[in-house]
């Protein structure tokens, strides 16, 4: 299990100015930070808040289960879609530290520019639909509501039972 958190611009949290992942991987999009006029103090504040949330979710979702070794394995990373690619970039960086044989990224939707950037850093990139005119991942879903902690825990528990 790898927990990733988007670092949203303070006054527009849906816009990613970076992301963090389990194990300490951090990606900061300096271009977005500059263009959005986010101060270093504000970036530090968002980082602090999201690190706390990442640790809370890791503890809640993993429980007492140990981290699996990924060395030499093929890892498939799936997301509901990518927009800026910040969270997927940091996920790939965090996973590379575990020395997997391959990292495969699979998403249903992405902007064309982000898709080409991620294809360059993943070992294999699969995207069902890439669009030039991309307003956000949610535009491709009827219901794009948040997944609750309880839903995540139930799915992880079921997944863990299936591997025993």
Pairwise CA distance, residues 30 & 35, whole Å:
8
Q: Is the pTM of this model over 0.85?
A: yes
The token duo for 135 is 């307003």
Pairwise CA distance, residues 99 & 120, whole Å:
18
How would CATH label the architecture of 4-162?
A: 3-Layer(aba) Sandwich (3.40)
Q: Report pLDDT digits (tens) over 82-110.
A: 999 999 999 999 999 999 999 999 999 99
At residue 164 the predicted structure's pLDDT band, cuts being 50, 70 and 90, is: very low
- In angstroms, what CA-CA distances link 36 with 16, 28, 39, 42, 47? 10, 13, 9, 11, 16
Q: Report pLDDT digits (tens) over 100-138.
A: 999 999 999 999 999 999 999 999 999 999 988 898 898
User: What percent of the chain is predicted at pLDDT more than 70?
Assistant: 97
């Amino acid at each position: 299990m790898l927990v990733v958190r988007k670092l949203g611009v303070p006054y527009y949290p849906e816009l990613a100015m970076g992301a963090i992942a389990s194990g300490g991987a951090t990606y900061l999009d300096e271009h977005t930070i500059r263009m959005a006029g986010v101060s270093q103090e504000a970036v530090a504040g968002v980082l602090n808040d999201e690190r706390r949330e990442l640790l809370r979710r890791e503890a809640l979702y993993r429980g007492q289960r140990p981290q699996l070794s990924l060395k030499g394995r093929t890892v498939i990373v799936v997301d509901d879609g990518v927009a800026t690619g910040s969270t997927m970039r940091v996920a790939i960086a965090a996973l590379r530290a575990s020395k997997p044989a391959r990292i495969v990224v699979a998403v249903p939707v992405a902007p064309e520019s982000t898709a080409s950037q991620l294809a360059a850093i993943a070992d294999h990139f699969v995207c069902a639909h890439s669009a030039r005119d991309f307003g956000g991942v949610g535009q491709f879903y009827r219901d794009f509501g948040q997944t609750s902690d309880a839903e995540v825990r139930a799915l992880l528990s079921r997944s863990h039972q299936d591997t025993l």
